[in-house]
Chains A and B, each alone.
Chain A
Amino acid sequence: MNARILMLAGALGGLVAPAAARAQSERLAGRLDDRTRAAVTALVDSARAAGLPADPLVNKALEGASKGADGARIAAAVRALAGDLTRTRAVLGRTATEAELVAGAAALRAGATPAFLERLRADYPREPLVVPLAVMADLVARGVPADTAVRSVLALVRTGMREAELVAFRQSVERDVALGAPAGAAAAVRVNAAERDFANTATGQQPPSAPPRPRKP
C-alpha cells in the first residue's frame, strides 16, 4: 500500500475521530471512575489511531465495570485486548472486519498461532472468518487442546464445511464431552470421521461394509 493512501486514511481517520471519540466517552461516562475512564480513553484513542476498532475495547471496559472489577484490572484487560486485536490485524490485514478481529483475538487468546489465522485466510480468501475462528476458541473453552482445535478447524474447512457445519461439529464435541469423553479425543475422532466421509464421497468409493440384506421376519 503506498504512502499516499496511508496518509489519506490517516487524515480521514482524523476527521472522523472527534465524533467517534465523543460517542465512546459517553458510553464510558457514569460507568467508570474518572481515573479509570481517563486511562481507558487514552488506550482506546491510541488504538484507534493505529487503525483498530474502538468498540471491542470499550465493550471490554464496560464488561469490567459491570462485573465490579477495579480500575487497574479493567485497564489491563483493555490493553491486552488491544494487543490481541493488533496481532490479529497484522495477519488478517486491513480488510478484516471488526467481527473478524474480535474472533481472531479470541482465537489467539485461546492459543492459536498467527499461522492459523494466515492459513484460514488463505483457505477462505473471500468469506468471513468469524465462525471458524470462533469455533476454534469455543473448542478450546470446552477442553480441546489448542493445537488440536486448530488442526480440527483447518481440516474441516478443507472438507468444505462452512458455518453451520462447523458449529454442528463444535456441538457434537460438546455433547461427547458432556457424556464423558476427553475433549481432544472427541474432536480428533470426529474430524477423522468427517475426513473419511469427505474422501469417500469425493472419490465415489463405497464404504467397506455393504448394506445388510433384509432379514427374514
Chain B
Amino acid sequence: MHGTADDPLIARIAAELRRPVPLRPDFDARVMAAVRRAIPSLPVRAWTWLREPRVVAVSPLGGLAMAAGLAGLLVVGTISRKPSAISRQQSAVSRQPSAVSRQQAAVGRQPSAVGAGAAASVTFVLVAPQARSVALAGDFNDWDAARVLMRREASGLWTVDVPLAPGRYRYVFVVDGRRFVADPAAPRAVGDDFGTPTSVVTVGGGALRAAGGSL
C-alpha cells in the first residue's frame, strides 16, 4: 500500500473531483430518445427479438403468444413472475391457438423528414401453423381478402409487407378464407360497427402543414 490514501493533498484533489458536474437539462431526454431508437443486439429471449424500439412493435402479449406459437410451451416459467398473468395470456392463446401475431409499423420519424404521403412498409405477421391460407383484409386494400394473401414461412409463420401512407387503418386476418381473426398484439378498434373485433395500425410521419394554414 502506498500512503497516498492518507495524503491530504490527494484527498483534497479527490474531494474537488467528486463534486457534481452539472448536466445539460435535456440529458435524460436525449439518452432515452437514443435508447428508444436503439436495437438491442444479441437476441436471446423470443419476445425481445421481436421488439424494435424504433418502430411500433408487438406488445408482450403478442410476443408471448408468438413464442408459444413457435415453440409450444416455451413461454411457461421463463418470462414473468406472475403466474396468474401468464395463465391468463395462455388461455387467451389457447382459445385461438393459431391466432398469434406480430405487427410492425413505422412511426416517429420526424415529420419534417418525411414527405407528404410518403409510404412506410408495414410488416404483418401471424403465427398460424394449422392454417392453409391466411389473408389480410383492411382499409388499405378494400377489405378484399382475396387480394393480399400472406406468405407462409417456416414454423407456421405467415407474413406480408404492405406500403402504407401515414394514417390509421383497420384490418383483420382472414384464416382459411372464412375465419376473421383480430391481431392480438395490436390495438383494437374502438366500438366495432359490425360486432367483430378489428385491429388498428397507425402510421405516423405525415407532412408538416404550411404556416398560416390556408385552404
Contact = CB atoms under 8 A, between A and B. Distances in A.
Interface of A: 1, 5, 9, 27, 31, 56, 59-60, 62-67, 69, 73, 76-77, 80, 93-95, 97-100, 102-103, 106, 109-110, 125-128, 130-131, 133-135, 137-138, 140-142, 160, 162-165, 167-168, 170-171, 174-175, 178-180, 197-198, 200-204, 206
A174 to B, nearest CB: 4
Interface string B11-35: 0000000001011011111000100
Given A97-B206, A106-B168, A131-B202, A77 B194 contact: yes
B40 to A, nearest CB: 14
A1 to B, nearest CB: 7
B213 A93 contact: yes
Contacts of A59: 139, 142-143, 170
B56 A198 contact: no
A133 to B, nearest CB: 8
Contacts of B200: 106, 134, 137-138, 141
Contact of B194 (A56, A69, A93, A100): A69
Nearest to B56: A167
A63 to B, nearest CB: 5
A101 B11 CA distance: 65
Interface of B: 20, 22-23, 25-29, 33, 36-37, 53-54, 56-57, 59-61, 80, 82, 84-85, 88-89, 107-111, 137, 139, 142-145, 165-168, 170, 180, 187-191, 193-196, 198, 200, 202-211, 213-215
A142 B187 contact: yes
25 contacts: A5-B215, A31-B142, A56-B139, A62-B142, A64-B193, A69-B194, A94-B215, A95-B213, A99-B166, A99-B206, A102-B167, A103-B168, A106-B189, A126-B208, A128-B206, A130-B167, A130-B168, A130-B206, A133-B168, A137-B187, A138-B202, A163-B107, A164-B107, A175-B59, A204-B25
Contact of A160 (B29, B139, B213): B29
A134 B202 contact: yes
B166 A128 contact: yes
A110 B25 contact: no
Complex A-B, nearest 10 residue pairs according to Cβ-Cβ distance, in ascending order: A164-B108, A128-B206, A99-B167, A77-B193, A138-B187, A66-B143, A163-B204, A134-B202, A163-B108, A62-B143
A201 B31 CA distance: 11
Contacts of A204: 22-23, 25
Contact of B170 (A63, A73, A160, A206): A63
Nearest to A94: B215
Q: Is the interface of A mostly helix, strand, loop or mixed?
A: helix
A200 B28 contact: yes
Contacts of A200: 28
A131 B137 CA distance: 22
Nearest to A137: B190
Given A130-B202, A167-B56, A180-B84, A60 B215 contact: no
Nearest to B210: A126
Contacts of B202: 103, 130-131, 134-135, 138, 167
A138 B59 CA distance: 13
Contacts of A163: 107-109, 111, 204-205
Given A106-B190, A141-B188, 15 more contacts: A1-B215, A56-B139, A59-B170, A63-B194, A64-B194, A95-B209, A103-B167, A126-B211, A134-B200, A138-B187, A138-B200, A160-B29, A164-B107, A167-B202, A168-B53
